Amino acid sequence: MSKFHFVCRKCGHKIDGFKKWFASNQKCTNCNNNSVSTVYSTDKEKIKALISDNATPENLWHYFDFLPLNNKKNIVTDGEGIAPIERWDFLEEFAKQKYGLQLEVYVNRNDKSFATGTFKDKGGAVAASVLKENNVDQYVVASTGNTASAFAHYLAKAKISCSIFVPENALKDSEAHIGTYGQKLFRVKGDYAYAKKVAADYAKKYNILMTGGNLDPLRLEAKKTQVFEMLRIMGKIPDVYIQALSGGTGPFAVEKAFLDFEGTGLLEKMPRFLLSQGNRCAPMAHAWKKAKANNFPEGYEKDYPIYENPEVLIPTIATGNPGMYPLMAPLVRKTGGEIFQIKEELAVDLARLVAYERVIKIGPASAAGLLGFFESLKNGLIKDKETVFVNMGESANRALSFMQQTAYTTQNIGSADECERFDRKKYKEKVWEKFV
């Protein structure tokens, strides 16, 4: 029996692994649909040992039994996927002081992931390994920046040529990550939706395999391991899952972990998804607000705006054409969650606050996720005694110009006469000022 196979999400047709999936250009061989679910024949009980206290994982491949790779010799890794999940008491303290809520708040420190410091490293590692196993030596990726950087890194490690298409406004720092490895960057004159189109044209022109979008098994399977990590480190599934929402791979991947273990009693209730979008490009949040105001009428999930060339402060999460909304909205509803917007203008302030309290440098998309926590509290979306998990996506090494904006203590001087004695404590009030 093979380790895994795919099942078409539309017609239920079975597809025997990646060779067939890639050969059919990532379409169902029966109905041409482009999304499949990965099904494993692995004994599900095996997860218990992997998430036990005694487990000592070195990277995401600790969960090899539940990942779509056949032979361990094809593993490509850089220690991704086991970035620590930390309990952040300053957020707990804030929730208690301001809202009288007793919470447990955990934050996934993807910024510590070695390769590119984002939660996209997991997807990069699985993609590179699977492509290697299937003798694919060329690949095309369209991305706002973080997936691009991660794929560039891991595919280079696997000696696979990666052609990457980013929108015009993608951060310069992504370009540096990609170009350094000798992978090809095409900066497309246009927005993310247009970059995807040009990438698809290029892939077709040269007959090269291209990333399969937000439901690509390569990415979903990789990112679902964050749920295993919650169980291993926190010993439980949180009540609430917070993330910055762009295309939705992260939340879909959380759902996939639950689907894998459906009916086993091993993984039961999904957390409520509280998903934040930057206010300058928030099509899903806008669609959701409208649907909610109308009591989610029949077909509400097909009613969403498309924003072309959005002018944003956080390009990494700016998906103006939210093609995944018809699937994302019902999923969020099923969990009892919400999709809402946060103010992009606050990202720098939030990064300062986190840097002050935790002594870490976070990137703008991470700030969007964490702002989701503050916004959720403000809107009463988190209840007393709940456990909250924030999937904090990236470090600031991915966005150096953003990091430069977060510096706030500089004073230009000519002599010591102009210098007052310094006390770090005096900045506490300043970094909290926008949030209290």
Enumerate binding residues for ligand PLP (CB under 6 A): 118, 120, 144, 146-147, 214, 243-250, 316-317, 365-366, 369, 393-394
Cβ distance 148 to 178 under 8 Å?
A: yes
> CA 91, 94, 95: angle at the middle one, nearest 5?
90
Cβ–Cβ under 8 Å, residues 214 and 247: yes
Shortest Cβ 101–ligand PLP spacing (Å): 25
The listed partner (Zn ion, ligand PLP, none) that binds 230, CB under 5 to 8 Å by sort, is none
Q: Who contacts 310 (Cβ-Cβ below 8 Å, separation ≥6)?
A: 191, 280, 281, 318, 320
- Name which of 12 and 84 has its Cβ closer to Zn ion: 12
Indicate the burial class of 267 (C-beta count within 10 angstroms; 0-12, 13-18, 19 or more). Answer: buried
Structure tokens at 68: 């779509």
Residue 25 in the binding site for Zn ion (CB under 5 A) = no
**75 or 399: whose CB is closer to ligand PLP?**
399
113 touches 95 (CB < 8 A): no
Pair of tokens at residue 138: 């060329």
What distance in Å separates the CA atoms of residue 284 and residue 95, rounded to the nearest whole number?
27
Residue nearest to ligand PLP (CB): 393
The distance of closest approach from Cβ of residue 321 to Zn ion in the complex, given in angstroms and rounded to an integer, is 24
Nearer to ligand PLP, 267 or 318 (CB): 318
Token pair in block for residue 52: 């036990």
CA 210 to chain centre: 19
Task: Pick out residues in 293-312 that bind Zn ion (CB under 5 A).
Answer: none
Residue 394 contact partner, candidates ligand PLP, Zn ion, none, CB within 5 to 8 A by sort of partner: ligand PLP
Residues 29-88 that bind Zn ion (CB under 5 A): 30-31, 33
Choice between 33 and 97, CB closer to Zn ion: 33
The item of Zn ion, ligand PLP, none sharing an interface with residue 10, based on CB under 5 to 8 Å by kind, is: Zn ion
Task: Please identify, among the stretches 2-10, 60-68, 80-88, 112-120, the one whose residues bind Zn ion according to the rule CB under 5 A.
Answer: 2-10
Q: Does 16 bind Zn ion (CB under 5 A)?
A: no
**Smallest distance, ligand PLP to C-beta of residue 57, A:** 22
Distance CA 139, CA 126 (A): 14
| Assigned token pair, 416 | 């010591």
3 binds Zn ion (CB under 5 A): no
- Smallest gap from Cβ 35 to Zn ion, in A, equals 9
CB 241 within 8 A of CB 248: no
Q: Should residue 27 be labelled a site residue for Zn ion when binding is judged by CB under 5 A?
A: no
Interface contacts to Zn ion, rule CB under 5 A: 8, 10-11, 13, 28, 30-31, 33
